[in-house]
Amino acid sequence: MDTDILKRNNVRLFGQGQQMLVFGHGFGCDQYVWSDIAPAFEEKYRVVLFDYVGAGKSDKSAYTTERYGSLHGYKQDLFDLCDALNLENIVFVGHSVSSMIGMLASIERPGLIDKMIMIAPSPYYLNEPDYHGGFEKSDIDELLDMMEINYKEWAKYLAPVVMQNEDRPHLAADFEEILCSNDPVIARQFAEVTFTSDVRSELSKVSVPTLILQTRFDAIAPPEVGQYVHENIKGSRLRLMNAAGHNPHISDSEETVRMIKEYLEN
């Protein structure tokens, strides 16, 4: 067991059972976002939570712009922690960009991931003539510029867009606090990597059973994207949730847990 890696990525383990369930957080977040999800699995699974380098309570001194200038740097974080714990045949639950990080890991290292659950995934966020990613390039440029000029104002703007559920304003307020806890420089680069990466060509290479959870309205990864991911991952299963917003694991944890459990048990 490599304790340096476990400390670097602030790895936490709990629960019981033979099957390992690893949760990967999305951009701007950390393992805190699984607080209402992970405990529901600890009776039957060994649960692994972690922070990508640069997020949460990870060792931010380990962050380099070279390594984390692409999704492959984050994929290596996943490899590192799995190697440190001697993991194989895991169930990987990835939110947003973590879905794609898990996908890349499953392709590169067969046998590491036994099943994948993708929550609000997107392989590419930009619109093209034959593809609706949800954003124009000018949208992304403006978002990145805003992060540089006034990070806190950017967080205040983005949080309600991501969370939706206007009838529960505390959700946006809590998510704004999560965003503001990030290092602005690191978050800005992670945002650029997230929103400009195009891994659509990798979807057809996925060979592990995959569940895609798509909310009924998502301003970040719209339903058309979830359908696209489903159509391009052979044998995948798409479930449309009653939840709205990009973070159903935060806003609608009970529905998220239920759908994951139904998939794993059946």
Phi then psi for residue 2, to 5 deg, are: -90, 100
Active-site residue among 30, 80, 218, 252?
A: 218
Among residues 187, 35, 202, the alpha carbon closest in space to that of 102 is found at 202
Q: How many other C-beta atoms can be found within 10 angstroms of the C-beta atom of residue 226?
A: 23
- Told to judge if 249 belongs to the known catalytic residues of this protein, a careful annotator would answer no
Active-site residue among 246, 249, 251, 253?
A: 246
- Told to judge if 218 belongs to the known catalytic residues of this protein, a careful annotator would answer yes
Active-site residue among 58, 77, 95, 96?
A: 96
Q: Which residues are catalytic?
A: 96, 218, 246
